[in-house]
Amino acid sequence: MSKAKSTAGNFFEDFRVGQVLQHATPRTLTVGDVALNIAFYGMRFAVQSSDHFAKAIGYARAPIDDLIVFHVVLGKTVSDISLNAVANLGYAEMRFLAPVFPGDSLSASSEVIGLRETSNKQAGVVYVRTKSVNQDGAPILEYARWVMVNKRDHAAKVGEAVVPKLDARVDPAKIGSAVPKLDLSAYDFALAGSAHRWGDYEPGEKIDHIDGYTIEEAEHQLETRLYQNTARVHFNLHEQIEKGRFKKRLVYGGTPLSLARGISFNGLANAFHIAAINGGSHVAPSFAGDTIYAWSEILEKAEIPGRSDIGALRVRLVGVKNRHCHDFPLKTADGKYEEGVVLDLDWWLVLPR
Amino acid sequence: MSKAKSTAGNFFEDFRVGQVLQHATPRTLTVGDVALNIAFYGMRFAVQSSDHFAKAIGYARAPIDDLIVFHVVLGKTVSDISLNAVANLGYAEMRFLAPVFPGDSLSASSEVIGLRETSNKQAGVVYVRTKSVNQDGAPILEYARWVMVNKRDHAAKVGEAVVPKLDARVDPAKIGSAVPKLDLSAYDFALAGSAHRWGDYEPGEKIDHIDGYTIEEAEHQLETRLYQNTARVHFNLHEQIEKGRFKKRLVYGGTPLSLARGISFNGLANAFHIAAINGGSHVAPSFAGDTIYAWSEILEKAEIPGRSDIGALRVRLVGVKNRHCHDFPLKTADGKYEEGVVLDLDWWLVLPR
Amino acid sequence: MSKAKSTAGNFFEDFRVGQVLQHATPRTLTVGDVALNIAFYGMRFAVQSSDHFAKAIGYARAPIDDLIVFHVVLGKTVSDISLNAVANLGYAEMRFLAPVFPGDSLSASSEVIGLRETSNKQAGVVYVRTKSVNQDGAPILEYARWVMVNKRDHAAKVGEAVVPKLDARVDPAKIGSAVPKLDLSAYDFALAGSAHRWGDYEPGEKIDHIDGYTIEEAEHQLETRLYQNTARVHFNLHEQIEKGRFKKRLVYGGTPLSLARGISFNGLANAFHIAAINGGSHVAPSFAGDTIYAWSEILEKAEIPGRSDIGALRVRLVGVKNRHCHDFPLKTADGKYEEGVVLDLDWWLVLPR
C-alpha cells in the first residue's frame, strides 16, 4: 500500500504512440513570475520590462517573457514524460503562438508521436508533441521534444520503432502571430538599449555577448521549482550523493538557456521576441559555481509574410561555461563540441524593421 | 540612551495572563507571495496555482496557499512573543477560517492564555491564542501556541502557573468555512494531478511522498524574511558562531513544513486545503544542506456537516531529513523519534468527494 | 565584427560635460518587486507593507519602498556610466519626489555635470545628475552621483576639469512631496510597531538597531539582477578569479544599504519614508558570508513647511559588518573609519508628528 497513491513516473514501456497525456498542474502566470524572471536572469528587453513601453507600440501591456512560458510548460510535462529520463535529446518545431499576459492560466498536454527502443534494450527514446493553451483554449506554445527514458523492466517487450519526421527549421511564414501589429513610430530605440534593427544584422555576423553569470545552488533550485518542474536531479543532494553520476545536483538546462538569453541583450537588445526554436541541445551539464557566457551567430534573415513592422533573424545561440566568448567557442576540428560549451540553440528572433 | 527606541523582545516575566498583544506589521498578500511560494516549495495544488481552475469550481480566483497565511501570521508574533524563546513547543486548535486572496491585508493579535515557570526558574512556557483578521475584520486564522521563553532575571518572581486546556483534535464540524460551495462537475482531476478523491483514502493508509528537497541558506533566509519573521537564529551567522548552540544558522521550522507539504502533492494531489492543524511539533532542527523527505498516514476520515462536496482527512504528516521514507520512519521501540525525523504534524486536509 | 553590436561600456574619455544619456531599460514596478523586497531585506514598515494601512492614512494604496526605486534607477545607469568604474565615490542632493505604486513604469536619464581627470591620468571622476520619471513624465527621483571611471587609453587627452558645486544637505523645505496629506487619526501606532513619533526623537540620540543579517551569494545576485544592474563584479566569479582584486564577487553596495534600512525598523519603525539622501559613501566592500548590523544617530530635527502631519529627521545610518553596534562603531581617533564599517549615510527620514 505504501506507494499506491504516489507515483515514481512513467518508464519507457508505459508509453504508446498516439497516447495523449493531460499534464497537471494548470498555472496562472503573474507579475510575481515577471519579477522573479528579472531577478533570476537579469532580463532587460524593454517590451517585457515596461507596460508603458509595450502599450506605446501596440501591446495591451507588457507580455510575459517567452522563456517563462517555455519553462512552465516544460515543467508540467516532467512528471508524466521525463521523470525517469536519462537524457534530454532535443527540441524541434517549437513555436510561440500568442502573447501571454499576467493573469493568463496555462495548461498543457502531450501526444506521444514516436517510440524507439535503444539497442541495449535498457531504455528508449520517447518523442512527444506538447501543446499549451490558455484559459480560453487559445494555443500558446507548441513543440516536439524527444528524451531517452529508462525501462522499468529491461526484459519488457515493446512495439516496433516509430520515429517522427520533424522539420529542421520552422518556416518563417508560420511565425510572428504572438506579436500584434506594431506602431514603430512609438518604439524608442534609446530606451530599448540599441539602435540596431532587423536590417542592421547580416548572416554570418557573430556577436560576443561579453557578460558572464555565476550560478548558485539556491538560484537554480528556486528557478526550477517556480516552473513546478519535479526532476529530482536538480533538488536532491542526498540522493545525488547516494546514487547520482556526478555526486552533486545538476542545474536545470533552462537555467543556462535563460541566462544566455539575458546576456544576449548586449548585442541583440531589440530582438525582443522568441518566435520559434528550430532545434537545440543541452551539450553538457552545468553545476553550481559555473559561470555562463554566451555568443550568437546570425544564420539567416527572413521577412515575415504580411508584416512590414517586424522581421525575423535565425540565430544560433551558444552558451559556454567558465570561458570567455571573444573567440566564439563551438566545435573542434573533429566535429565535437569544445570544452565548456553547454548549449547550442537555433532560434528565430523577431526585431523591429 | 542606546537601546531606548529599539527592543530586544519580551522575556518570560514580561507576560501576564489575559494580556493582549497587537502585533506589527500588517501585510498585504499578493501574487508576488504566490510566485515565491511556488519557487520556495514547488507547490503544485491546482486550486492555488490556477485562477482558471479555481474559478471553474466556485472560488472568486485562486486562493492563497494556507501555509503562506500561517507563516505570515506566525512571523508577526515573533517580535512580541518568541524573540527570546528557547523552544517552540507546540500548536493546537488551529483553524483556517476564510479564504485569503491576493490583495487581502492581514493583521494579527495574541492573547496570553497561560504561563508556567520551569522548575529551574530560568525560563517559562508562554501559551498564547493568536487570531488574524483581514482588512474587513473577518477572522482568517486562529490557533493556540506555546513556547518556552527565557527569563531576563532568573530571580524575578512570577505568578501561579496557569495552563490552558486545549483540544487534541479540532472537531470536523468546525472546519471547512474557507472553502466555498464547490461545483465538482468542473473539478478536472486530470489537471489536478490525481484521480483520488476523499473516498479513496482509508484510515491506516500510509503514503511515501518519495521526493526530497535540499535546503540552501539563501532559500530559508529569503523565506523567513518574506514572512517578516525576525527570529535571529535564522539569519545571523556572526552571532551563531559567537554564542549559538550549533555554531550555524537554524532553518525556520516552517521551511521543512512547507517543503513536506509541497512534496506531499505526490500522493495527496487533491488535498488542496488545510482546514485545521490539531497539533504539531518541530522534532529536530534542520540546517542548510539537509534534504527533506516526507510521508503521510491517514488517521481518520470525516464528513463535514452540511457539505456533500468536500470531506476531511485527518492526516499525520512526518518530515524526515537525509533519509528516504519508504519505511515510514517515526519512532523507535522506546517511544523516541527516530534519527532524521524533523516534523510530526497532525492536520485536517480537505478533498473533493 | 565580433563586438560591433555589443558594448563594453563607456570610458572616462567618452564623456562630455552637458551630455545627456537616456538609459535603457524602462521598468514597470509591481507587487512582485514588493514581495522580493521583503524577502531580501525583511522590510517591516507598515505603510509599504499593507494597502489597508496605507489607504487608511491617505495613500491610494501601499507605495513602493523608496529604496527599490533607488536601486532600479541606479541599476539603469550602470551600463552607460559605471560599467568601467573603479570606485563609487558619492551621492548628493537626492530627493524622492513622488510616491511610486505597483504598475508605475520608470525610466531614467543622466546629464554629465562634471569631469575631472585623476592626477595619474589613468582614470577620472564623472559627475552626473540622474533623473527618473514615471509613465506620465512626472519626476520621481533626482540625485547627483560621482564615480571614478577608467580611461580606455591612458594617453587620451581630455578637457579642463569641471567640478560641480553640490549641497551638503538637502533643504527640508524641498522634501515631503512624495507623502500625501496624512490622516494621523487613522495611523495605528501599535500596528506600525512603535509609539515613537517625530517629536520623540532628539538630535544626538543614537540607536543600536541590534539585529544582524548574513549575506549569501545567491541573495545579492538575485537582488542586483532584479534592479537590472549589470556591474560585472557582482555576478561573475570566473572573471573575479581571473583578474579581480579580491578573487571573489563583491556585494552590490545597495545590499548592505537596504539591509541596514530593514534592520533600522527596530528603533525607527515610524520613519516610513526616505525623503532625501544628503550624502553617503560605501566605506568598504561586503562579501557573501558577511553579517550586516546597523546603528543610527539623529543629526537634526526639522519641520517641513506647510506640513503639520509629518516631520523630518536627519539621520546618520551606519552599516557595520561582523560586529555588534552597541558601542556605535564609526571612526578612530585619527579620523579613519573603524574596521567593519561598510556604509555611512546621511538621510532625511519622514515620520508622523
CB contact under 8 A, A25 and B289: no
CA distance A189 to chain C (A): 9
A2 pLDDT more than 70: no
CB contact under 8 A, A228 and B289: no
Which CA distances in Å does A112 have to A80, A146, A169, A278, C106? Answer: 11, 10, 21, 20, 46
Nearest-angstrom CA–CA distance, C45 and C145 = 27
CA distance A240 to chain B (A): 11
CB atoms within 10 A of CB A168: 9
CB contact under 8 A, A30 and C35: no
Nearest-angstrom CA–CA distance, B144 and B125 = 13
| Mean pLDDT on B244-250 | 96
Interface probe for A, chosen from B211, B222, B292, B324 (most Cβ of A below 10 Å), is B211
Nearest CA in chain C to A30: C32
Amino acid at C200: D
CB pairs under 8 A between B and C: 149
Q: What is the pLDDT of residue A1?
A: 42
For C50, the closest of B26, B35, B216 (CB atoms) is B26
A251 pLDDT more than 80: yes
Q: Binning pLDDT at 50, 70 and 90, where does residue B8 land? A: confident
Backbone phi and psi for residue C280, each to the nearest 5 degrees, phi listed first = -175, 150
Buried b / exposed e along A237-266 (16+ C-beta atoms within 10 A): bbbbeeebeeebbbbbbbbbbbbbbbbbbb
Provide, as residue numbers in chain A, all residues whose Cβ is less than 8 Å from the Cβ of B268: 5
Provide, as residue numbers in chain A, all residues whose Cβ is less than 8 Å from the Cβ of B320: none
Share of chain A above pLDDT 90, in %: 96
Contact B175, B304 (CB under 8 A): yes
| 3-class state of residue B197 by DSSP | coil
Among candidate residues B184, B172, B215, B194, the one with its CA nearest the CA of residue B304: B172
Nearest-angstrom CA–CA distance, B27 and C270 = 16
Cell 517559562 maps to which residue? B124
Helix residue spans in C114-263 (DSSP H): 189-192, 217-226, 237-243, 254-263
Spell out where chain A has E strands.
20-28, 85-96, 105-117, 123-133, 139-150, 206-208, 213-214, 273-282, 291-303, 310-321, 341-352
Cis preceding-peptide flag for B25 (omega within 30 of 0)? yes
Helix residue spans in chain C (DSSP H): 31-41, 46-49, 51-57, 66-77, 189-192, 217-226, 237-243, 254-263, 265-268
Q: What is the pLDDT of residue A88?
A: 87
DSSP code string of B58-122? T-SSPPP-HHHHHHHHHHHHIIIIITTEEEEEEEEEEEE-S---TT-EEEEEEEEEEEEE-TTSS
| Mean pLDDT on B281-294 | 96
Chains linked to A by 3 or more Cβ pairs within 8 Å: B, C
Instruction: Name the average pLDDT for chain A.
Output: 96
Chain mean position to CA B187:
27
Instruction: List Cβ neighbours of C84 (8 Å cut-off, separation of 6 or more).
Output: C8, C9, C10, C11, C12, C149, C150, C152
Q: Quick one: cell of B168?
A: 487534541
CA distance B339 to chain C (A): 29
Contact B310, B176 (CB under 8 A): yes
Render pLDDT for A33-66 as a digit per residue (tens, 0 to 9).
999 999 999 999 999 999 999 999 999 999 999 9
Q: What is the pLDDT of residue C237?
A: 98
Which residues on adjacent β-strands are paired with residue A273? Answer: A350
Q: Quick one: cell of B225?
A: 524574511
Bridge-based pairing of strands B105-117 and B206-208 is unpaired
B1 pLDDT more than 70: no
Amino acid at C143: Y
Q: What is the pLDDT of residue C125?
A: 97
Which residues on adjacent β-strands are paired with residue A206? Answer: A297
Nearest-angstrom CA–CA distance, C107 and C27 = 7
Per-residue pLDDT in tens (0 to 9) along chain C, 353 residues? 445 799 889 999 999 999 999 999 999 999 999 999 999 999 999 999 999 999 999 999 999 999 999 999 999 999 999 998 888 889 999 999 999 999 999 999 999 999 999 999 999 999 999 999 999 999 999 999 999 999 999 999 999 999 999 999 999 999 999 999 999 999 999 999 999 999 999 999 999 999 999 999 999 999 999 999 999 999 999 999 999 999 999 999 999 999 999 999 999 999 999 999 999 999 999 999 999 999 999 999 999 999 999 999 999 999 999 999 999 999 999 999 999 999 999 999 999 99
| Mean pLDDT on B269-290 | 97
Which residues on adjacent β-strands are paired with residue C211? Answer: none
Q: Which of A134-148, B73-87, B299-313 has the lowest mean pLDDT?
A: B73-87
Instruction: Name the average pLDDT for chain B.
Output: 96
Q: What is the pLDDT of residue A87?
A: 84
Running DSSP on this structure, what letter comes out for residue C33?
H
C contact set with A (CB within 8 A): 1-8, 22, 24-28, 30-33, 35-36, 79, 102-103, 105, 107, 135, 216-219, 221-223, 225-226, 228, 230, 232, 235-239, 249
| 3-class state of residue A190 by DSSP | helix
CB contact under 8 A, C50 and B225: no
For A2, the closest of B31, B36, B206 (CB atoms) is B206
Render pLDDT for A61-84 as a digit per residue (tens, 0 to 9).
999 999 999 999 999 999 999 998
CB contact under 8 A, C30 and B32: yes
Contact A215, A41 (CB under 8 A): no
**Element (H or E) spanning B191, and its range?**
helix B189-192
Instruction: List Cβ neighbours of A333 (8 Å cut-off, separation of 6 or more).
Output: none
Interface probe for C, chosen from B25, B110, B220 (most Cβ of C below 10 Å), is B25
CA distance C223 to chain A (A): 6
Share of chain C above pLDDT 70, in %: 99
Nearest-angstrom CA–CA distance, B298 and B348 = 10
Render pLDDT for A253-297 as a digit per residue (tens, 0 to 9).
999 999 999 999 999 999 999 999 999 999 999 999 999 999 999
Nearest-angstrom CA–CA distance, A92 and A169 = 8
